[in-house]
Structure 1
Amino acid sequence: MIGRGRLAAIAVLTILACPAGAQDGGGARPPAAVTVQTLAAQDVTITATLPGRIVASGRAEVRPQVDGIVTDRLFTEGSEVEKGDPLYKIDDASYAALVAAASASVAQARANLDAAESEARRLQTLFDRKVASEQNVDDAKSDRDAKAAALQVAEAQLLAAQIDLDHTTIRAPLSGIVGRSLTTQGALVTRGQAAALAVIRSIDPVHVDVTQSAAEVIRARRGLGDAGLDEADQSVTLRLADGGTYDQIGLLTAAEPYVDELTGVVVLRLTFPNPEQLLLPGMYVQVEMPQYVARDVILAPQQGVTRDRRGRPVAMVVSADNTVEQRDLTILGDQGPHWIVTDGLADGDRIIVEGLQKIGVGMTVAPEEQAAPGETGN
C-alpha cells in the first residue's frame, strides 16, 4: 500500500511535468509581429549618372597679326575682358611710316587723276571744235582711266597699311576671362605664330560634355516607346567633385549623332549657367540626366526585397486577412534606397520590411506599419 503523502507528491510532480498548453486545452501560438510599409503607385523619373568634363562656352587663343616687338601688356592676368579690349601693344613705328607712305601715294595718285581728267576734258573740247583728232581724245580718256585705277590701288595699299597699324594693338577677340600672359614685354612676335600670347575663355554659361554608352541610348529610346513611359524633362543636375550638388539646373543642348568606334559611346553636350564662376573648364563632374518617366510604378524599399534560389527578386506582402504572400517582382532599376518595380506589387500592398526571418508563406502575422522618419514608437 502506498501512503497518502507519497500519492500527493506524485500528483504534484505529474502536474508540474505537464506542458502549459495541455492545461489550457492546447491554445494556438500568437501570430508573429512584422513591420510593413504600405506601397503607393506613382510616376518615377528614370535617371542615368553620366561622367563629364566642364568645357568653356567660348575659347580664343590670342595671336599677333603683325610682326614686331611687344612693348606693353595692357590687361591684368585672370581678369574679365570685353570683346575689343586692348591686350598687348606692338612697336608701331615702322607701320606708322608705311601708313604715311601709303597716304602720300594716294595723294600723288589723286593729283595724277585730276590732271588726266583735265586733259581729257580739254581734248574733248578741241575735238568738238574739229581741232583735235579722235585718237588724241581716246588716248586722253585711257590715261584718265589708268590714273583712276592707280588711285584705287594706292587707296587699297593705304587701307592695308592702316589695318597693319591697327593690328599693332592686339585686342580681345571675345568676352571672357583672360588667363596668364604667355609672353613678356620685349619679346619678338610674328604674324600667325603657333604659340598663343594668352587664352580667353567664356565661362558663363559653360558646357558639360558627357558620354553615354550606345546601349544606354538604345535602352532609353526603346523605353520611350513602351507603354507607360513618357519622355522626361530635359533639365539635368550636376554633382561636383567634392560630392556636392550644383545649385543651377542645366539643359541638354546637343547630342553628337555619332558613336565612337573605339569606345562605343555618344557625346552629349549640356549647358549650365555659371554666374559665380564656380565651374571651371577641365573639371570632372557627374550629371544626373533624366532618361524617361515610368508611369504607375512602385517604389519598393530594398530591405523588403530578397532573392530566391534562382536569383529572382521576390517580396513578402501581407494580404487583407494578415497572411503572408510571396510575390515575384520585375525590377526596372533603383532610385536611392528603393527598387523601381513594374510588376509584382500593386498600389496599397503591404510589403514586409522587418521580421522576414521568422515568417513563411501562408503564415498569419501581426503587421505594424513602419514609422515615418522622425517618428518614434510608443
Structure 2
Amino acid sequence: MVVRAGLILALVFVLSGCGGGEKKKERPVPAVGFIIVTPTAVPMATTLGGRTVAFASSEVRPQVTGVIRARRFVEGGLVRQGQPLFEIDQSLYRAAVNLAEANLLSAQSTAEAAATRAERLRPLAKLEAVSQQEYTDASAQARQTAAAVAQARAQLETARINLRFTTVPAPITGRIGRALFTSGALVSANQVEPLAVIQQLDPIFVDVQESSADLLSLRRALASGGAQAGSTRVRLKLEDGSDYPLTGTVQFSEMLVNEATGTVTLRVRFPNPEGFLLPGMFVQATFDESINPSAYLVPQQAVQRDFGGSSFVYVVGPGNKAVRRKIETARTRGADWIVTAGLKPGDRVIIQGTANLKQGAPIRPVPASTPERIAPGGGTPAGAGR
C-alpha cells in the first residue's frame, strides 16, 4: 500500500509540473515603414534613338567642261563660302570671251551706222525728197542692228560667266571631304560624281524616331488636360555611353509616318563648336516630352508585380492592416517609380518590411524615417524603421 501511494503521489507531481509550464509565445505584429504620398508635377522623360545629320551638305560640282589644272584646298579642312577649290583650264573660255567682245564691237558699229542713216532720211522723207518706203526700211534696219547689239552683249556675258565657272568655289562654309578628282582629270557639267562634298557641322541636327502611337497618346493627353507640354531642351548620350556636354532644342516633327517602321521623325538642333559630333553617329536623345501634373513618386522597392505582370503596392489600411493596392506605373525617375493611377493623396505606402506581407495582415506602421532601435539585451524590435 505504501508503494502504491508513492506511485500515485509521483504521478500527481508529474501532471502538476506539465500543467504549470509556460504558455506558447504569440508571434509579434511586424513593423513596417511607410511614406505618405502626395501628387506632384513630374516631368515624363522620353529617350529616343537617332542619328546625327549635317546641318547643311553641298556637293561641289563643275558647271563647265574642262581639265582640272589645280586643287586649292586641304582635304578634311574647313573651307569658307566662295573660297576657290578647283581651277579648270581657261583657254577655250577666255578665247570665247575675246570672240564675244569682238562680235559686240562689230554689232555696235553696224548699229551706229544704221541709226545715223535713219536719222538722215527722216527729214528728207518729210520733204518727200526720198520715198517713205526707203525711210521705213532704214528705221527697221536701225532697230535690227540695235537688237544684234543686245544679243552680242548677252553672248559676251555668257562667255564671261563660263570663264568665271572655270574657278570652282565653295558653295557653303563647312568641312570638306576628300577630293574625288585630281589634277589632270577631265570633268563636265553633267557628270554623275561631284568633285568633293562639303558638310556644315556647327550646328548639327539629330534625327530621332518616335512611335506614332506614343505621339498620338501624348497629343490626346495634352488635349484632355491630363498632361502639360514639357521642355524642348534635349540631352544627348553618345555611342560610348558618355553624355554630350551641350543641350539641344527640338525644331519640329515631320507630318508623315514611316509606313515601314510606324515612326515619326523629330529633328533636334545641337551646337557643335568643337566638331565633336560627326554625321551618321548613333545617339540617344532624352527630353521631357510632357509633365504629369498629378503623378506620385514611389520608391522602387515598394512596387511589386504579380504573376500577370500587374504592379501593386501595400498601403496601411484601416485598423493597421496591410491592404494590397493595384497601381499603374509609367516609367522610373531615378530611384522612384512614377505612379499614374491607383493611389490617392495621403495614402501611406509601405516601403519597408514588404517581404512577407499579405492582404489583411496586421501590421505596426512607423514612418520610414524612424531610426532603428535596439532592444535591451541586443535584440532588434520588430518595429525598426530605416
TM-score interval, normalised by the smaller of the two chains: 0.7 to 0.9
1:269 shift after superposition: 1.7
Aligned to 1:278: 276
Aligned to 1:161: 159
Aligned to 1:369: 368
Aligned to 2:125: 127
1:342 shift after superposition: 2.1
248-257 vs 48-57, greater mean Cα deviation: 248-257
Aligned to 2:337: 339
Which amino acid in structure 1 is aligned with residue 96 of structure 2? L
Aligned to 1:114: 112
Aligned to 1:41: 39
Distance 1:311 1:210, change over 3 A: closer
Distance 1:313 1:102, change over 3 A: same
1:14 shift after superposition: 4.4
Which amino acid in structure 1 is aligned with residue 219 of structure 2? R
Which amino acid in structure 2 is aligned with residue 153 of structure 1? Q
Return the alpha-carbon distance in structure 2 between the equivalents of residues 214 and 14 of structure 1.
80
Return the alpha-carbon distance in structure 2 between the equivalents of residues 310 and 120 of structure 1.
103
State the SS of the aligned residue for 1:352: strand
Q: Name structure 1 gaps, 5 residues minimum.
A: none
Which amino acid in structure 2 is aligned with residue 363 of structure 1? P
Return the alpha-carbon distance in structure 2 between the equivalents of residues 371 and 78 of structure 1.
64
Distance 1:81 1:139, change over 3 A: same
Contact 1:331 1:341 in 2 (8 A): yes
Aligned to 2:142: 144
Return the alpha-carbon distance in structure 1 between the equivalents of residues 204 and 20 of structure 2.
83
Return the alpha-carbon distance in structure 2 between the equivalents of residues 149 and 173 of structure 1.
35
Count residues with an aligned counterpart. Answer: 364
Aligned pairs for 1:47-196 within 5 A: 47-196=45-194
1:17 shift after superposition: 8.6
Return the alpha-carbon distance in structure 1 between the equivalents of residues 30 and 79 of structure 2.
73
Aligned to 1:198: 196
State the SS of the aligned residue for 1:72: strand
Return the alpha-carbon distance in structure 2 between the equivalents of residues 120 and 91 of structure 1.
45
Which amino acid in structure 2 is aligned with residue 34 of structure 1? V
Distance 1:371 1:194, change over 3 A: farther
Contact 1:32 1:358 in 2 (8 A): no
1:104 shift after superposition: 0.7
1:239 shift after superposition: 1.6
Return the alpha-carbon distance in structure 2 between the equivalents of residues 327 and 85 of structure 1.
70
Distance 1:256 1:371, change over 3 A: farther
244-253 vs 115-124, greater mean Cα deviation: 244-253
Please state if 1:312 is matched with 2:310: yes
State the SS of the aligned residue for 1:111: helix
Aligned to 2:237: 239
Return the alpha-carbon distance in structure 2 between the equivalents of residues 311 and 212 of structure 1.
25
1:366 shift after superposition: 5.1
Please report the TM-score for the alignment, with normalisation by the length of structure 1: 0.87
Contact 1:207 1:271 in 2 (8 A): yes
CA deviation profile, 1:271-323 (whole Å, cap 9, x unmatched): 22222221111111112243321112101122111124554321113459754
Aligned to 2:378: none
Q: Name structure 2 gaps, 5 residues minimum.
A: 372-384
Distance 1:108 1:336, change over 3 A: same
Return the alpha-carbon distance in structure 2 between the equivalents of residues 317 and 342 of structure 1.
16
Distance 1:16 1:367, change over 3 A: farther
Contact 1:74 1:86 in 2 (8 A): yes
Distance 1:368 1:109, change over 3 A: same
Please report the TM-score for the alignment, with normalisation by the length of structure 2: 0.85
1:126 shift after superposition: 2.6
Q: 1:293 aligns with which of 287, 291, 294?
A: 291
Which amino acid in structure 2 is aligned with residue 338 of structure 1? D
Aligned pairs for 1:3-14 within 5 A: 14=17
Which amino acid in structure 2 is aligned with residue 18 of structure 1? G
176-185 vs 262-271, greater mean Cα deviation: 262-271
State the SS of the aligned residue for 1:89: strand
* Stretches of 4+ aligned residues off by more than 6 angstroms: none
Distance 1:311 1:128, change over 3 A: closer
State the SS of the aligned residue for 1:324: strand
